[in-house]
Amino acid sequence: MTLYHVHMTLARNEEHPNGSSAHGYDIVLPLDGDMKLDPEAWKSHSKQCTVRRFWQGEPDQKGLLRHIGRGWVIDYDATTREGDEPFFKLDRHEFKAGEYLSVLEQDGEMQTFRIVTVEPLKG
């Protein structure tokens, strides 16, 4: 099992027709041999599975990748039981540059992000 650092940026949308490298997420998560999320490895490494949301004009938000119910979420507040930003079918995606992932952000808007890099975590 290897932990990977995934860097993804906002895909093109109405507000950003060319996408935006100033808006996105850095995620650390375990991937299997098919470059898909490894839920079993996550169980033993969940505290290392961090998420950083960077958004131009806002302070970075840091949280953890969590599995709640049937889905995967970003949890910025460990004192609550629910997650803050659910991923859309995270466990079905192949993590490779050029692929897309969607996140339901805290404002209730679904945003799509393009995976820029997927690299094994060093150290």
d(CA 3, CA 110): 26
Domain ranges for the chain, please list them. Answer: 2-120
d(CA 22, CA 54): 7
What mean pLDDT do residues 30-57 have?
95
Check residue 45 and give its pLDDT: 95
Least confident of 6-10, 43-47, 71-75, 82-86: 82-86
Check residue 123 and give its pLDDT: 65
d(CA 69, CA 8): 25
